Structure 1
Amino acid sequence: MKIFCIGRNYAAHAAELGNEPPGKPMVFMKPPTAILPNNKPFYYPEYSKDIHYETELVIKIAKNGRHVQPEFARDYVGAIGLGLDLTARDLQQELKAKGHPWEIAKGFDNSAPIGAEFYAPDKFEDLNDIAFRLEKNGDEVQRGRTRNMIFNVETLICYVSQFFRLQKGDLLFTGTPEGVGPIVQGDELVGYLSLLSGEVEMFRTRVK
Protein backbone atom coordinates (compact mmCIF):
# COMPACT_ATOMS: atom_id res chain seq x y z
CA MET A 1 0.00 0.00 0.00
CA LYS A 2 1.16 3.49 -0.88
CA ILE A 3 -0.01 6.68 0.81
CA PHE A 4 -0.08 9.71 -1.48
CA CYS A 5 -0.60 13.13 0.08
CA ILE A 6 -1.36 16.46 -1.54
CA GLY A 7 -0.04 19.73 -0.12
CA ARG A 8 -1.60 23.19 -0.38
CA ASN A 9 -4.74 22.01 -2.13
CA TYR A 10 -6.97 24.63 -0.48
CA ALA A 11 -6.10 28.25 -1.20
CA ALA A 12 -7.12 29.44 2.27
CA HIS A 13 -4.81 26.91 3.92
CA ALA A 14 -1.89 27.91 1.69
CA ALA A 15 -2.54 31.53 2.67
CA GLU A 16 -2.65 30.82 6.41
CA LEU A 17 0.85 29.32 6.18
CA GLY A 18 2.11 32.15 3.98
CA ASN A 19 2.47 29.98 0.88
CA GLU A 20 1.47 30.64 -2.72
CA PRO A 21 -1.15 28.27 -4.17
CA PRO A 22 0.62 25.75 -6.43
CA GLY A 23 0.28 25.62 -10.20
CA LYS A 24 0.40 21.82 -10.12
CA PRO A 25 -0.51 19.35 -7.38
CA MET A 26 2.17 19.07 -4.69
CA VAL A 27 2.67 15.37 -4.05
CA PHE A 28 4.49 13.77 -1.15
CA MET A 29 4.21 10.34 0.42
CA LYS A 30 3.94 8.69 3.80
CA PRO A 31 5.10 5.13 4.50
CA PRO A 32 2.59 2.48 5.59
CA THR A 33 3.94 2.77 9.16
CA ALA A 34 2.38 6.23 9.31
CA ILE A 35 -1.11 4.73 9.50
CA LEU A 36 -2.71 4.90 12.96
CA PRO A 37 -5.93 2.84 12.72
CA ASN A 38 -8.92 1.99 14.86
CA ASN A 39 -9.00 5.10 17.04
CA LYS A 40 -5.73 4.23 18.70
CA PRO A 41 -4.10 7.02 20.73
CA PHE A 42 -1.35 9.14 19.26
CA TYR A 43 1.74 9.30 21.46
CA TYR A 44 3.50 12.64 21.14
CA PRO A 45 7.06 11.95 19.94
CA GLU A 46 10.13 13.37 21.63
CA TYR A 47 11.62 14.87 18.45
CA SER A 48 8.99 17.59 17.96
CA LYS A 49 7.42 20.28 20.11
CA ASP A 50 4.94 21.59 17.53
CA ILE A 51 2.81 18.91 15.87
CA HIS A 52 -0.23 20.17 13.95
CA TYR A 53 -3.45 18.46 12.89
CA GLU A 54 -4.56 18.61 9.24
CA THR A 55 -7.91 16.96 8.44
CA GLU A 56 -8.23 15.49 4.96
CA LEU A 57 -10.67 13.58 2.79
CA VAL A 58 -9.05 10.24 1.91
CA ILE A 59 -9.67 8.26 -1.28
CA LYS A 60 -9.10 4.50 -1.34
CA ILE A 61 -8.01 3.52 -4.83
CA ALA A 62 -10.26 0.92 -6.47
CA LYS A 63 -7.93 -0.72 -9.00
CA ASN A 64 -4.50 -0.77 -10.59
CA GLY A 65 -3.62 1.69 -13.32
CA ARG A 66 -1.15 4.14 -14.84
CA HIS A 67 -1.59 7.32 -16.87
CA VAL A 68 -5.26 7.52 -15.98
CA GLN A 69 -7.25 9.70 -18.37
CA PRO A 70 -9.83 12.18 -17.03
CA GLU A 71 -12.85 10.30 -18.39
CA PHE A 72 -11.81 7.19 -16.42
CA ALA A 73 -10.59 8.83 -13.20
CA ARG A 74 -13.87 8.33 -11.32
CA ASP A 75 -13.51 4.55 -11.81
CA TYR A 76 -10.46 4.62 -9.54
CA VAL A 77 -12.40 6.00 -6.56
CA GLY A 78 -13.12 2.86 -4.58
CA ALA A 79 -14.22 4.35 -1.27
CA ILE A 80 -14.04 7.58 0.69
CA GLY A 81 -12.83 8.14 4.23
CA LEU A 82 -11.32 10.75 6.51
CA GLY A 83 -7.92 11.02 8.12
CA LEU A 84 -5.35 13.29 9.70
CA ASP A 85 -2.05 14.37 8.19
CA LEU A 86 -0.15 15.08 11.40
CA THR A 87 2.76 17.41 10.72
CA ALA A 88 5.82 18.20 12.84
CA ARG A 89 5.68 21.87 11.95
CA ASP A 90 8.90 22.81 13.71
CA LEU A 91 10.86 20.14 11.82
CA GLN A 92 9.15 21.06 8.55
CA GLN A 93 9.99 24.76 8.86
CA GLU A 94 13.60 24.03 9.79
CA LEU A 95 14.08 21.66 6.86
CA LYS A 96 12.32 23.93 4.35
CA ALA A 97 14.51 26.86 5.41
CA LYS A 98 17.57 24.79 4.54
CA GLY A 99 16.11 23.56 1.25
CA HIS A 100 16.11 19.99 2.56
CA PRO A 101 13.42 17.33 2.02
CA TRP A 102 10.88 17.24 4.85
CA GLU A 103 9.69 13.63 4.86
CA ILE A 104 10.54 13.22 8.55
CA ALA A 105 8.13 16.06 9.35
CA LYS A 106 5.28 14.32 7.52
CA GLY A 107 5.96 10.59 7.37
CA PHE A 108 6.93 9.73 10.93
CA ASP A 109 5.30 6.75 12.65
CA ASN A 110 1.57 7.14 13.37
CA SER A 111 1.37 10.48 11.54
CA ALA A 112 -1.75 9.38 9.61
CA PRO A 113 -4.63 8.55 11.97
CA ILE A 114 -7.47 7.24 9.85
CA GLY A 115 -11.02 6.08 10.34
CA ALA A 116 -11.81 2.39 10.14
CA GLU A 117 -14.78 2.95 7.83
CA PHE A 118 -14.69 3.91 4.16
CA TYR A 119 -17.87 4.62 2.21
CA ALA A 120 -18.72 3.89 -1.41
CA PRO A 121 -19.02 6.91 -3.72
CA ASP A 122 -22.77 6.36 -4.08
CA LYS A 123 -23.16 7.26 -0.39
CA PHE A 124 -22.40 10.89 -1.34
CA GLU A 125 -24.42 13.27 -3.46
CA ASP A 126 -21.40 14.80 -5.22
CA LEU A 127 -17.77 13.67 -4.99
CA ASN A 128 -16.69 17.25 -5.62
CA ASP A 129 -18.81 18.74 -2.85
CA ILE A 130 -18.27 16.59 0.24
CA ALA A 131 -18.28 18.30 3.64
CA PHE A 132 -16.07 17.26 6.54
CA ARG A 133 -14.93 18.76 9.81
CA LEU A 134 -12.73 18.29 12.87
CA GLU A 135 -13.41 18.93 16.52
CA LYS A 136 -10.65 19.35 19.10
CA ASN A 137 -11.82 18.87 22.67
CA GLY A 138 -15.41 19.40 21.56
CA ASP A 139 -14.79 22.64 19.64
CA GLU A 140 -14.88 22.76 15.86
CA VAL A 141 -11.46 23.79 14.51
CA GLN A 142 -11.67 22.82 10.83
CA ARG A 143 -14.47 22.62 8.29
CA GLY A 144 -13.93 21.85 4.62
CA ARG A 145 -15.76 21.07 1.40
CA THR A 146 -14.14 19.37 -1.53
CA ARG A 147 -15.59 22.00 -3.88
CA ASN A 148 -12.94 24.35 -2.47
CA MET A 149 -10.03 22.16 -3.56
CA ILE A 150 -7.66 23.75 -6.06
CA PHE A 151 -7.34 20.35 -7.77
CA ASN A 152 -10.34 18.03 -7.55
CA VAL A 153 -10.21 14.30 -6.91
CA GLU A 154 -10.23 13.28 -10.58
CA THR A 155 -7.41 15.71 -11.39
CA LEU A 156 -5.33 14.36 -8.51
CA ILE A 157 -5.81 10.75 -9.62
CA CYS A 158 -4.75 11.59 -13.18
CA TYR A 159 -1.75 13.59 -12.03
CA VAL A 160 -0.41 11.10 -9.49
CA SER A 161 -0.82 8.22 -11.95
CA GLN A 162 1.58 9.90 -14.36
CA PHE A 163 4.43 9.18 -11.95
CA PHE A 164 3.30 6.23 -9.82
CA ARG A 165 1.39 3.09 -10.70
CA LEU A 166 -1.82 3.20 -8.74
CA GLN A 167 -2.65 -0.05 -6.98
CA LYS A 168 -5.86 -1.25 -5.40
CA GLY A 169 -5.90 -0.19 -1.75
CA ASP A 170 -3.55 2.79 -2.12
CA LEU A 171 -4.68 5.85 -0.16
CA LEU A 172 -4.83 9.41 -1.45
CA PHE A 173 -4.94 12.18 1.17
CA THR A 174 -6.41 15.08 -0.79
CA GLY A 175 -5.26 18.12 1.21
CA THR A 176 -6.46 20.11 4.19
CA PRO A 177 -8.60 23.25 4.48
CA GLU A 178 -7.73 26.23 6.65
CA GLY A 179 -7.78 26.02 10.44
CA VAL A 180 -4.77 23.80 11.10
CA GLY A 181 -3.21 24.13 14.51
CA PRO A 182 -1.16 22.49 17.25
CA ILE A 183 -1.99 19.53 19.44
CA VAL A 184 -0.86 18.83 22.99
CA GLN A 185 -1.07 15.85 25.28
CA GLY A 186 -4.61 15.36 26.50
CA ASP A 187 -6.29 16.65 23.34
CA GLU A 188 -9.03 14.60 21.70
CA LEU A 189 -9.51 14.92 17.94
CA VAL A 190 -12.79 13.77 16.38
CA GLY A 191 -13.39 13.83 12.63
CA TYR A 192 -16.79 13.89 10.92
CA LEU A 193 -17.83 13.25 7.33
CA SER A 194 -21.16 14.18 5.69
CA LEU A 195 -22.92 11.44 3.71
CA LEU A 196 -26.28 11.47 1.96
CA SER A 197 -27.73 9.89 5.09
CA GLY A 198 -26.21 12.50 7.40
CA GLU A 199 -23.02 13.21 9.28
CA VAL A 200 -21.01 10.30 10.71
CA GLU A 201 -18.09 10.14 13.10
CA MET A 202 -15.04 8.80 11.27
CA PHE A 203 -12.28 8.78 13.87
CA ARG A 204 -11.59 9.68 17.48
CA THR A 205 -7.95 10.04 18.47
CA ARG A 206 -6.57 11.05 21.86
CA VAL A 207 -3.12 12.58 22.18
CA LYS A 208 -0.96 11.05 24.90
Structure 2
Amino acid sequence: MKLLCAEYNASGEVAYDVIGDNALLRNNDDFYIPAFAGELSCVPQIVLRVGKIGKHVSERFAGRYYDEIGVGIRFYADDFGRRLAGMGLPAVMAYGFDGAAAVSVLKKCDSGLRDVEYSFRVNELEVFRRKMNDLPLLPEKLIAGMSEYCMLKIGDLVYCGNSFRQKELKIGDRLQMFLGEDCLLDFHIK
Protein backbone atom coordinates (compact mmCIF):
# COMPACT_ATOMS: atom_id res chain seq x y z
CA MET A 1 0.00 0.00 0.00
CA LYS A 2 1.12 3.51 -0.74
CA LEU A 3 -0.21 6.97 0.02
CA LEU A 4 -0.83 9.12 -3.05
CA CYS A 5 -0.94 12.75 -1.99
CA ALA A 6 -1.94 15.91 -3.80
CA GLU A 7 0.13 18.98 -2.85
CA TYR A 8 -0.98 22.49 -3.85
CA ASN A 9 0.99 25.71 -4.05
CA ALA A 10 -0.43 29.17 -3.32
CA SER A 11 -1.66 29.62 -6.91
CA GLY A 12 -3.50 26.28 -6.93
CA GLU A 13 -1.09 24.28 -9.05
CA VAL A 14 -0.83 20.62 -8.06
CA ALA A 15 1.95 18.07 -7.74
CA TYR A 16 1.64 14.47 -6.62
CA ASP A 17 3.71 12.79 -3.93
CA VAL A 18 3.96 9.14 -3.07
CA ILE A 19 4.86 8.28 0.52
CA GLY A 20 5.08 4.97 2.32
CA ASP A 21 2.50 3.51 4.67
CA ASN A 22 4.92 4.09 7.57
CA ALA A 23 3.41 7.60 7.61
CA LEU A 24 -0.05 6.32 8.59
CA LEU A 25 -1.45 7.32 11.97
CA ARG A 26 -4.51 5.15 12.66
CA ASN A 27 -7.14 4.45 15.30
CA ASN A 28 -7.22 8.03 16.58
CA ASP A 29 -3.82 7.49 18.16
CA ASP A 30 -2.25 10.68 19.48
CA PHE A 31 0.30 12.43 17.26
CA TYR A 32 3.73 12.83 18.83
CA ILE A 33 5.75 15.77 17.53
CA PRO A 34 9.09 14.44 16.25
CA ALA A 35 12.29 15.87 17.71
CA PHE A 36 13.29 17.41 14.35
CA ALA A 37 10.06 19.45 14.04
CA GLY A 38 10.20 22.95 15.50
CA GLU A 39 7.29 24.36 13.47
CA LEU A 40 4.37 22.03 12.85
CA SER A 41 1.43 22.54 10.50
CA CYS A 42 -1.25 20.30 9.05
CA VAL A 43 -3.70 20.06 6.17
CA PRO A 44 -7.14 18.42 6.64
CA GLN A 45 -8.12 16.30 3.65
CA ILE A 46 -10.59 13.89 2.13
CA VAL A 47 -9.09 10.39 1.80
CA LEU A 48 -10.20 7.85 -0.81
CA ARG A 49 -9.34 4.15 -0.91
CA VAL A 50 -8.46 2.72 -4.31
CA GLY A 51 -10.61 -0.32 -5.07
CA LYS A 52 -9.39 -1.23 -8.55
CA ILE A 53 -6.00 -1.55 -10.27
CA GLY A 54 -5.41 1.12 -12.88
CA LYS A 55 -2.81 2.95 -14.96
CA HIS A 56 -3.47 5.93 -17.25
CA VAL A 57 -7.08 6.10 -16.05
CA SER A 58 -9.34 8.41 -18.00
CA GLU A 59 -11.04 11.10 -15.91
CA ARG A 60 -14.34 9.87 -17.30
CA PHE A 61 -13.87 6.47 -15.63
CA ALA A 62 -11.88 7.53 -12.55
CA GLY A 63 -14.94 7.39 -10.26
CA ARG A 64 -14.87 3.61 -10.65
CA TYR A 65 -11.41 3.40 -9.08
CA TYR A 66 -12.27 4.36 -5.52
CA ASP A 67 -14.73 2.59 -3.25
CA GLU A 68 -14.36 4.10 0.24
CA ILE A 69 -14.09 7.59 1.68
CA GLY A 70 -12.78 9.01 4.93
CA VAL A 71 -10.90 12.00 6.27
CA GLY A 72 -7.24 12.54 7.02
CA ILE A 73 -4.76 15.04 8.34
CA ARG A 74 -1.27 15.43 6.85
CA PHE A 75 1.40 16.84 9.15
CA TYR A 76 4.36 18.94 8.00
CA ALA A 77 7.58 19.80 9.85
CA ASP A 78 7.81 23.23 8.18
CA ASP A 79 11.18 24.37 9.52
CA PHE A 80 12.78 21.02 8.70
CA GLY A 81 11.37 21.16 5.16
CA ARG A 82 12.85 24.63 4.64
CA ARG A 83 16.23 23.42 5.92
CA LEU A 84 16.21 20.48 3.50
CA ALA A 85 15.16 22.69 0.57
CA GLY A 86 17.90 25.18 1.51
CA MET A 87 20.46 22.38 1.15
CA GLY A 88 19.02 21.44 -2.25
CA LEU A 89 17.54 18.20 -0.89
CA PRO A 90 14.01 16.82 -1.36
CA ALA A 91 11.72 17.76 1.52
CA VAL A 92 9.87 14.41 1.68
CA MET A 93 11.38 13.66 5.10
CA ALA A 94 9.53 16.71 6.44
CA TYR A 95 6.12 15.19 5.64
CA GLY A 96 6.69 11.46 5.06
CA PHE A 97 7.88 10.59 8.55
CA ASP A 98 6.25 7.99 10.82
CA GLY A 99 2.75 9.08 11.82
CA ALA A 100 2.63 12.10 9.48
CA ALA A 101 -0.64 11.06 7.80
CA ALA A 102 -3.62 10.48 10.09
CA VAL A 103 -6.48 8.54 8.54
CA SER A 104 -9.97 7.83 9.83
CA VAL A 105 -12.03 4.71 9.40
CA LEU A 106 -13.25 4.55 5.82
CA LYS A 107 -16.89 4.28 4.72
CA LYS A 108 -18.36 2.90 1.53
CA CYS A 109 -18.90 5.60 -1.09
CA ASP A 110 -22.40 6.41 -2.26
CA SER A 111 -23.73 8.36 -5.20
CA GLY A 112 -24.09 11.71 -3.37
CA LEU A 113 -20.36 12.11 -2.85
CA ARG A 114 -19.98 15.57 -4.38
CA ASP A 115 -22.22 17.17 -1.75
CA VAL A 116 -20.34 15.59 1.16
CA GLU A 117 -19.12 18.21 3.60
CA TYR A 118 -16.06 17.85 5.78
CA SER A 119 -14.77 20.05 8.55
CA PHE A 120 -11.78 20.45 10.84
CA ARG A 121 -11.64 21.64 14.44
CA VAL A 122 -8.70 22.65 16.59
CA ASN A 123 -9.40 22.68 20.33
CA GLU A 124 -13.13 22.35 19.56
CA LEU A 125 -13.14 25.52 17.41
CA GLU A 126 -14.08 24.98 13.77
CA VAL A 127 -11.34 26.44 11.58
CA PHE A 128 -12.24 24.85 8.24
CA ARG A 129 -15.36 23.58 6.43
CA ARG A 130 -15.69 22.63 2.80
CA LYS A 131 -17.76 20.52 0.42
CA MET A 132 -16.16 17.93 -1.78
CA ASN A 133 -17.27 20.01 -4.80
CA ASP A 134 -15.00 22.80 -3.55
CA LEU A 135 -11.78 20.77 -3.65
CA PRO A 136 -9.14 22.41 -5.88
CA LEU A 137 -9.32 19.27 -8.04
CA LEU A 138 -12.23 16.86 -7.92
CA PRO A 139 -11.34 13.24 -7.08
CA GLU A 140 -11.80 12.04 -10.66
CA LYS A 141 -9.30 14.57 -11.97
CA LEU A 142 -6.84 13.72 -9.17
CA ILE A 143 -7.05 9.98 -9.75
CA ALA A 144 -6.65 10.42 -13.51
CA GLY A 145 -3.62 12.66 -12.94
CA MET A 146 -2.00 10.41 -10.35
CA SER A 147 -2.49 7.32 -12.52
CA GLU A 148 -0.36 8.95 -15.23
CA TYR A 149 2.68 8.72 -12.92
CA CYS A 150 2.13 5.53 -10.95
CA MET A 151 -0.09 2.49 -11.00
CA LEU A 152 -3.10 2.55 -8.71
CA LYS A 153 -3.33 -0.61 -6.62
CA ILE A 154 -6.15 -1.93 -4.48
CA GLY A 155 -5.81 -0.52 -0.96
CA ASP A 156 -3.78 2.57 -1.91
CA LEU A 157 -4.98 5.72 -0.17
CA VAL A 158 -5.48 8.97 -2.07
CA TYR A 159 -5.10 12.11 0.06
CA CYS A 160 -6.99 14.69 -1.99
CA GLY A 161 -5.10 17.71 -0.67
CA ASN A 162 -6.33 21.14 0.16
CA SER A 163 -5.15 24.73 -0.07
CA PHE A 164 -5.92 25.38 3.64
CA ARG A 165 -3.09 24.86 6.14
CA GLN A 166 -3.36 25.10 9.93
CA LYS A 167 -0.07 26.45 11.28
CA GLU A 168 1.52 26.74 14.72
CA LEU A 169 0.26 23.46 16.12
CA LYS A 170 1.51 22.68 19.61
CA ILE A 171 1.51 20.05 22.32
CA GLY A 172 -1.94 19.73 23.89
CA ASP A 173 -3.92 20.72 20.80
CA ARG A 174 -6.97 18.57 20.12
CA LEU A 175 -7.68 17.87 16.43
CA GLN A 176 -11.04 16.67 15.16
CA MET A 177 -12.28 15.97 11.65
CA PHE A 178 -15.85 15.41 10.59
CA LEU A 179 -17.31 13.84 7.47
CA GLY A 180 -20.80 15.32 7.37
CA GLU A 181 -21.92 15.22 10.99
CA ASP A 182 -19.80 12.18 11.93
CA CYS A 183 -16.61 12.81 13.91
CA LEU A 184 -14.15 10.36 12.37
CA LEU A 185 -10.87 11.73 13.75
CA ASP A 186 -10.37 12.94 17.32
CA PHE A 187 -6.91 12.94 18.90
CA HIS A 188 -4.34 15.13 20.65
CA ILE A 189 -0.87 16.38 19.82
CA LYS A 190 1.72 15.28 22.34
Return the alpha-carbon distance in structure 2 between the equivalents of residues 129 and 97 of structure 1: 41
Q: How much does 1:98 deviate? A: 4.4
Q: Which ranges in structure 2 are unaligned for 5 or more consecutive residues?
A: none
What secondary structure is seen at the aligned counterpart in 2 of 1:100?
Answer: coil
Return the alpha-carbon distance in structure 2 between the equivalents of residues 133 and 97 of structure 1: 34
Match of 1:94 in 2: 83
Q: Which ranges in structure 1 are unaligned for 5 or more consecutive residues?
A: 9-13
Q: 1:119 aligns with which of 86, 104, 107?
A: 107
- RMSD across aligned positions (CA): 1.5
Structure 1 stretches of at least 4 aligned residues deviating more than 4 Å after TM superposition: none
2:131 aligned with 1:145: yes
Q: 1:203 aligns with which of 165, 169, 185?
A: 185
Normalised TM-score (structure 1): 0.86
Q: How much does 1:43 deviate? A: 1.1
Return the alpha-carbon distance in structure 2 between the equivalents of residues 69 and 162 of structure 1: 9
Match of 2:70 in 1: 81
Match of 2:151 in 1: 165
2:116 aligned with 1:134: no
Match of 1:183 in 2: 169
Letter of the structure 2 residue corresponding to residue 121 of structure 1? C
Deviations 1:165-198 (A, max 9, x none): 110110000012425222111111011011xxxx
Match of 2:3 in 1: 3
Match of 2:97 in 1: 108
Letter of the structure 2 residue corresponding to residue 6 of structure 1? A
Kindly indicate whether the alpha-carbon contact (under 8 Å) linking 1:142 and 1:177 is maintained by their aligned counterparts in 2: no
Letter of the structure 2 residue corresponding to residue 47 of structure 1? F
Return the alpha-carbon distance in structure 2 between the equivalents of residues 88 and 39 of structure 1: 20
Letter of the structure 2 residue corresponding to residue 206 of structure 1? H
Q: How much does 1:114 deviate? A: 1.1
Deviations 1:148-171 (A, max 9, x none): 223210011111111111101100
Match of 1:11 in 2: none
Return the alpha-carbon distance in structure 1 between the equivalents of residues 19 and 154 of structure 2: 17
Paired positions, count? 190
What secondary structure is seen at the aligned counterpart in 1 of 2:94?
Answer: helix
Q: How much does 1:204 deviate? A: 1.0
Q: How much does 1:57 deviate? A: 0.2
Distance 1:6 1:36, change over 3 A: same
Q: 1:174 aligns with which of 152, 157, 160?
A: 160
Return the alpha-carbon distance in structure 1 between the equivalents of residues 18 and 188 of structure 2: 24
Match of 2:11 in 1: 20
Letter of the structure 2 residue corresponding to residue 202 of structure 1? L
Q: How much does 1:39 deviate? A: 0.7
